[in-house]
Homo-oligomer: A and B are copies of this chain.
Amino acid sequence: MATSESLRPTQADRRARSRSALLEAAARGLSRYGYSNLVLEQVANEAGYTRGALYHQFASKEDLALAVVWWVAGEWGKEVGSLALREDDPVDALFALARGHAIFCRRDIARVRMAIVTEFSGRDHPIRHALDEIEAGIIERIGNLITQARRNGSVPPGPPVKTIAAGLLGGLEGLMIQLSGQGPHDTVLAERLVRGMLGLPPAPKA
């Protein structure tokens, strides 16, 4: 039984390898061109395959996009969401989320959601449902942190928690898209954005 460490790859290895290559190429393409501008032949070629391989692994373009969306969400959870769990103070957790998100957005795949969300907003489409579900999860998480921080007394009152949480997410994503995840200032501005929207004073000078 040949595994990934063996010289001759097994079928499952081949499948997994090509699948992740296709997924990554599709994620890059989605974040650059959006959904309907994404052409599957280009995706397959960038991954080193043809459309045949793609349709062997994914039932349709929509199925591929859904897989990408959930894959990116998983990566976000692993790379960003985990940072919040390491913090005790909810405000620190929010800062960690913001900075982590900024760093995550330096990867091109991070912009998938914002790139395709407008294409499906308002319509009843599976991709929209997936995006909504993922977004709702993140907003709920942020909202819980804000609620804790308000109980804690470290965050002043203001608009409803859910509104702030949604605004935080949207503002952060817009910020990162604009900065293209390039500058070294992305994390600073992300933290500033969080402070502002929560009603916190600016960070003391280091």
Contacts and interface: CB of A to CB of B under 8 A. Distances in A.
A163 B189 contact: yes
Copies in the complex: 2
Given A169-B178, A175-B167, A178-B170, A192 B197 contact: yes
A53 interface: no
Interface stretch (A40-48, A64-72, A79-87, A117-125): A117-125
9 contacts: A33-B119, A37-B119, A158-B188, A159-B188, A170-B176, A170-B177, A173-B174, A189-B197, A196-B196
Interface of A: 31-34, 36-37, 111, 114-115, 118-119, 121-122, 156, 158-160, 163-164, 166-167, 169-179, 183, 185, 188-189, 192-202
